[in-house]
Structure 1
Amino acid sequence: MEVRREIVTAIIVDGGFYRKRAHALFGEKTPNQRADELVEYCRRHIRKSHAALYRIYYYDCPPSERVIFHPLTRKHVNLRKSAEYRWMAEFMRELTKRRKVALRRGEELETQHGYMLKPEPLKKLCAGAITISDLSERDFLLDITQKGVDMRIGLDIAALAENGRVNQIIMIPGDSDFVPAAKHARRSGIDFILDPMWATVTDSLSERIDGVRQCMRRPQHATGCGARYRKQRGEHLVFEGRLGRLSPNVCCMRCRVVGGEQMECDQCPGHWSQ
């Protein structure tokens, strides 16, 4: 009789990618809540595979402590004193407390950092639709390039493929830089699965994996769709982005309470596919 081999899974998470997608899909959360959400999201993959979890590898760059000049306000901004710094530092501390989570830290690129205009206001400025006096601080984003994360991901995938401790790798990716590592893992007999969290997968990466798995239903507003309607008690209720106020019982800003009852959006945990 054929004996089924136990599936042992390692999960690789590109932190910068996950944080952006999680914010778009699940809304703003505290560092503790985001850490719990990440672990639960990964464990849904384990349950889908009926597997044993080897480890969750999380790769991210620590928050910057630099003092950076803002071109609009003409003031120096101490990033260490910012709310974003405090949130990120606490989030990384929370991850170190979670069982089976390995935190891999990248580094900040020394020669490239600063504020830059977002694409949309930059287009308007170049087209003459707005002037510099029309710009606000919200039109700028902080551009800090990290290094070492991609290299660490590639090395860990190669090590997992060589030591034979896992036979499945699930990756929550950021870009296609991991194609060589994914190719090497598959050659070693590892089942390599991608979870892009409904983001676009490049052709070069999709050719080098064994499959794509989503752990949640296709989102509506997070992919640019318009308002949607949901029937409740004979009424059509309209949801358009961030309507309504955040209730303690509502898990993201896109959910709201209507008539005293929580109305969840498609991508909140209560609607994740089982």
Structure 2
Amino acid sequence: MAHTAILVDGGFYRKRAAHLWGKKSAEDRAKELNAYCLAHLRDKDGVEARQLYRIFYYDCEPIGHRSVYHPLTKKNVDLDKSDTYAWTLTFLNELRRRRKFALRLGELSNQACYNLRPEITRKLMAGSLSVQDLKEEDFMFVAQQKGVDMRIGIDISSLAYKKQVNQIILISGDSDFVPAAKLARREGIDFILDPMWADIKADLFEHIDGLNSQWKKKESQ
């Protein structure tokens, strides 16, 4: 039986989960994430084939106590009064209460802004949407994560060197983790990537031992 650590790139998971299974409350998204990770512990016949060491979740605390200018409303938005701020805090607190979860939190850059969503930009450039038709929901809050990738790389290295597990499952689609994956494999770790059905770059295939995404369609939790 494999002794398995599951590492979750939080920003990637939340984006893919919303795409695959729609928007949910913070409580339901946390419940879904827990179920998705635990699904990795069983083979196709439903027999438990892996022993869970821990689920490491990597993300950032939301930015609070500052405001960001919204280009459409021409007003400053108090971030700690936004729905996103409250949702994120609730979501992280839900994960903290769950067994076997360890949160590794970076921080968001202070260089934050509201940008048009990519699909809205395409419509504007194609002429199928005019500036006068823009709505608040056509914009998204953007802030760069700091320290998240580094924490994932350090934990992969630590798990490998200390022989705490013999298998790592990484839920992500980012090729930035190739060096860490190469190191883990050199140390004898079985390295599985779960990109949640997203397309991945070709160089990732060279440095993993398997590709395995869990349920694709909306599941009842």
- Indicate whether the TM-score tops 0.5: yes
Shift in Å at residue 129 of structure 1? Answer: 4.9
Q: Distance in 2 between matches of 1:72 and 1:164?
A: 53
The answer to whether the Cα contact below 8 Å between 1:59 and 1:153 also exists between their aligned partners in 2 is yes
Per-residue deviation at 1:27? 2.3
Please state if 1:11 is matched with 2:3: no
Name structure 1 gaps, 5 residues minimum: 1-5, 220-266
More helix by share: 2
Is the 2:173–2:194 Cα contact (8 Å) retained in structure 1?
no
Contact 1:157 1:185 in 2 (8 A): yes
Percent identity, please: 55
Structure 1 counterpart SS, 2:41: helix
Give the equivalent residue in structure 2 for 1:118: 117
- In the TM superposition, 1:73-88 aligns within 5 A as 73-88=73-88
- Matching residue of 1:161: 160
Structure 1 counterpart of 2:214: 215
User: CA 1:130–1:215 in structure 2 vs 1: closer, same or farther (change >3 Å)?
Assistant: closer
Gaps spanning 5+ residues in structure 2: where? none
Q: Tell me what 1:55 maps to.
A: 54
Using the size of structure 2 for normalisation, the TM-score is 0.91
1:46 aligns with 2:41: yes
Please state whether the residue corresponding to 1:214 is helix, strand or coil.
coil
Specify the alignment match of 2:23 in structure 1. 28
Aligned residue pairs total 216
Aligned to 1:175: 174
* Deviation per residue, 1:220-253 (Å, 9 max, x gap): xxxxxxxxxxxxxxxxxxxxxxxxxxxxxxxxxx
CA 1:57–1:68: 2 relative to 1, 3 Å:
same
5 Å-filtered alignment, 1:120-159, equals 120-159=119-158
Does the 8 Å CA contact 1:16/1:174 hold for their aligned counterparts?
A: no
The answer to whether the Cα contact below 8 Å between 1:172 and 1:194 also exists between their aligned partners in 2 is yes
Give the drift of 1:73. 0.9
Distance in structure 2 (CA, Å) of the matches to 1:198 and 1:129: 30
Give the structure 2 partner of residue 190 of structure 1: 189
Secondary structure of the equivalent of 1:192? strand
- Judged with a 3 Å threshold, the aligned counterparts in structure 2 of structure 1 residues 147 and 174 are, in CA distance, closer, same or farther, namely farther
Counterparts in 2 of 1:184-263, with a 5 A limit?
184-216=183-215, 219=216
The 2-side partners of 1:140 and 1:268 are apart by 26
Per the TM alignment, residue 138 of structure 1 is displaced from its structure 2 partner at its CA by 2.1
Structure 1 residues 129 and 158, CA gap change in structure 2 (3 angstroms):
same
**Distance apart, 1:120 and its partner CA:** 3.1
Contact 1:124 1:130 in 2 (8 A): yes
Deviation, 1:175, is 1.1
Question: With CA pairs under 8 Å and 6+ residues apart, which has the higher RCO, 1 or 2?
Answer: 2
Higher mean alpha-carbon deviation, 64-73 vs 89-98, is at 64-73
Shift of residue 116 of structure 1?
Answer: 1.1
- Alpha-carbon separation, structure 2, partners of 1:123 and 1:24: 19
Structure 2 distance, partners of 1:174, 1:212, is 11
Indicate the RMSD between aligned Cα atoms, in angstroms.
Answer: 1.7
User: What residue in structure 2 maps to residue 262 of structure 1?
Assistant: none
1:185 partner SS: helix
Q: What TM-score, normalized by structure 1, do the two folds share? A: 0.74
SS at match of 2:143: strand
Shift, 1:97, TM fit: 0.5
> 2:97 maps to what in 1?
97
In structure 2, how many angstroms separate the alpha carbons of the residues matched to 1:124 and 1:53? 45
- Larger of the two Rg values belongs to structure: 1
